[in-house]
Amino acid sequence: MLKVEGLKKYYPVQKSSIEVLLTKRRDFVRAVDGVTFDVQKGEVLSLVGESGCGKTTTGRILVGLETPTDGRIYFKDKEVTSMEKDELRRLRRHIQMVFQDPYASLNPRMKIGEHLEDSLAVHGIAEGEEAKEMAMAMLDRVGLPGEQFYNRMPYQLSGGQRQRVAIARAMILKPEFVVADEPVSMIDVSLRAAILDLLMSFREEYDLSMIFITHDLSVARLVGDRIAVMYLGKIVEIGETRKVIHNPRHPYTAALLSSVPSFMKRRKRVEIIGDIANPIDIPPGCRYHPRCPFARDVCRKDEPELEGDRHLFACHFPLELTF
C-alpha cells in the first residue's frame, strides 16, 4: 500500500548573519534522517518514540504537509514524490490525517456539519443536499447524532466530541490510508478507549491501512500489527508488535519499554544514560551510543544498519531478553 525509502527532512537552523560569517557553516536539524518502511493493505503500523524523534514529521510528510528533503514515497506502487499537481490532488483524498489537538484542528467559525461538507466539496465528491445527507450519516456513525450536532459550533463540543468530528471529516472521504498523530493523548482518560474503538471500527469497515503515531507504548501495542521505534530521526527497530514488545533487540526499545508504567509491577529495568542528544549534532557511529549502557568501541565509529527478516533492528550487539 505504502512504501517509504530513505526519507529525510532537514530544517536549516536560523542564525544571525554574524554567526554565519564566523562559523561559515550551515547547521541543520535532522528531524527525519533516512527512514525506510512499508505498510501493507489493512495493516496498522505504530510509530513510537520520544518527543523530537521525528515521528510526527514523518507522518506530516506522508500526508503532504511537509516536503521531504530526500527520499521516495510510493503509494500503491506509484511514486508520490514525483507526481504532477493534479494527480497529487486526486491522491490526497485517499491519504488522510487525524491530528493530536482537536481544539486546533477544527475551524472555530464553522458548524460541525460544514466541516464534513467542506471536506467533500474540496475533493469534488459531493455538494448541496447530497453532501448534507452524507454528513448527517457520518455524524451518526461517529456517535454524534446528526440531528443534534450538525448545527453546533466547535466551542460547544468537548475534546472527545471534537476528535470524533475530526475522525468523521477524514473518514467521510473513504480514505485508503490514514495517519493518526497521537489522536487520544489530549483526550480525557475515560474517553480514550471509545475514540480508539471508533478508529479501529473504520479500519475494519474500510480495510484501512494506518500509521498510528504515539508516545504511549501501551496504545501502540493495542492498535498496531507492527511497531516501529524511532530515535533521533531513524527507525532503530521494527517488527511484529508481540516480538518487539516481548523480545526487544535494540537497547533503546528495551529502555523505553521498561519505563512504561504498568499495572503489572515486577518487570526488568533496562538502563538509559542521560538525556536525548541534540538533533543538530547527532552523535557519530550509532546515534544511541552515548546513552547505551552496552556500547563498545565499534558503536562509537560505525553506524549500524537496520537489518533482519521481518523483525529488523539497527544494533551491533542486539539484546537477547524476554520481557
Partner 1 sequence: MLLEVENLTTLFRTKRGIIRAVDNVSLSLEKGDFISIVGESGCGKSTLAYSIIRLIDSPGEIAGGKIYFDGKELTSLSEEKMRKVRGKEIGMVFQDPMTSLDPLEKIGDQITETLMEHIDVTKKEAWQIAREMLEKVGLPPDRVESYPHQLSGGQRQRVVIAMAVSLNPKLLIADEPTTALDVIVQEKIMDLLNEMRKEGRAIMLITHDFALAAERSDRIAVMYAGWIIEMGDADRLTKEPMHPYTRGLIESVPDVWVDREIKPLPGFPPDLAKPPEGCRFRPRCPLATEKCMKEPPGVDVDGRYVKCWLFEVK
Part in contact with partner 1 (CB under 8 A); list of ranges 3-11, 22-30, 146-154, 265-273: 265-273
Q: Print the binding letters for residues 144-183 with partner 1: x by CB under 8 A, - otherwise.
A: --------------x-x-----------------------
Interaction between residue 268 and partner 1 (CB under 8 A): no
Among residues 213, 256, 286, 312, which is the contact residue for partner 1, using CB under 8 A? 256
Parallel/antiparallel/unpaired status of strands 226-231 and 234-240: antiparallel
Helix ranges, the chain (H):
17-23, 55-62, 85-92, 112-122, 128-141, 146-149, 159-171, 189-206, 217-223, 241-246, 251-258, 297-301
Shortest spacing between CB 251 and partner 1, in angstroms? 12
Cell 523505553: give the residue: 256
Minimum CB distance to partner 1, residue 120 (Å): 28
**Closest to 79 measured CA to CA, from 87, 194, 116, 313:** 87
In 3D space, the residue among 182, 185, 151, 159 whose CA is nearest the CA of residue 104 turns out to be: 159
- Which residue in 197, 207, 297, 305 binds partner 1 (CB under 8 A)? 197
Answer whether 232's CB lies under 8 Å from 279's CB.
yes
Question: Using CB under 8 A, which of 15, 215, 243, 311 touches partner 1?
Answer: 215
> Minimal CA–CA distance to 171: which of 133, 141, 144?
141
Of residues 1 and 217, the one with the C-beta less far from partner 1:
217
Q: Give the integer Cα–Cα distance in Å for 307 and 172.
A: 39
> Considering the rule CB under 8 A, would residue 257 count as an interface residue with partner 1?
yes
Grid coordinates belonging to 237: 527497530
* Member of 121, 134, 260, 319 binding partner 1 (CB under 8 A): 260
Q: How far is the CB of 273 from partner 1 (least distance, A)?
A: 10
Please state, as a whole number, how many other Cβ atoms lie within 10 Å of the Cβ of residue 300. 13
b/e burial code for range 275-289 (CB count within 10 A of at least 16 → b): ebbebeebbebbbbb
Quick one: which of 108, 263, 281, 310 contacts partner 1 (CB under 8 A)? 263
Q: Is the CB of 134 or the CB of 194 nearer to partner 1?
A: 194
CA distance 93 to 177: 9
In the complex, least distance from residue 201 CB atom to partner 1, rounded to whole angstroms = 11
231: β partners: 234
Binds partner 1 by CB under 8 A, chosen from 221, 234, 250, 316: 221
Asked if residue 5 binds partner 1 (CB under 8 A), the reply is no
Task: Pick the stretch among 4-12, 79-87, 131-139, 257-265 that binds partner 1 (CB under 8 A).
Answer: 257-265
SS3 content of the chain, % helix, strand, coil (to 5): 35, 20, 45
Residue 71 or 143: the one with the smaller Cβ distance to partner 1 is 143
Contact call for residue 259 and partner 1 (CB under 8 A): yes
Smallest distance from partner 1 to CB 29, Å: 16
Q: Does 222 bind partner 1 (CB under 8 A)?
A: yes
CA distance 108 to 221: 34
Binding site for partner 1 (CB under 8 A): 50-51, 158, 160, 188-194, 196-197, 215, 217-219, 221-222, 245, 255-265, 267, 272, 275-276, 323
